[in-house]
Amino acid sequence: MDKIILNGAKFYGYHGLFPEENRLGQRFEVNAVLYLDLKQAAKTDDMNASINYGDVYQRIGSIVEGEAVNLVETLADKIADELLGQYGRLEACLVKVVKPDPPIPGHYESVAVEIYREREK
């Protein structure tokens, strides 16, 4: 299966269970893998046979920077639903939402949630 991959899209949002996360906000990073057939796009050199990843970035940003949710799981699911709902060519997507600085003690690089969703047949 062909893929379009958006790596390390960075946004600022107000998601989380703790009041300070909702008040102060924090950084989020999103990776998205879009599964679709790119054969026609490659043969015709026509963007209409693909998905504009600039538009994908904007849609993801509007969700991450939009209405706050408690769980990163919810945020990832909302992104996947938006992508599958907006792009008819998209057969499936893998969405990873990373919180580089969650308010939990310890030494780690980040925490993340990754979900895979397919278009319902």
Catalytic residue set: 99
- Determine the 3-state secondary structure of 22 from DSSP: helix
Q: Which residue has the tokens 């397919």?
A: 118
> Element (H or E) spanning 66, and its range?
none
Output b/e per residue, 42-60; b: 16+ Cβ within 10 A. eeeeeeebbbeeeebeebb
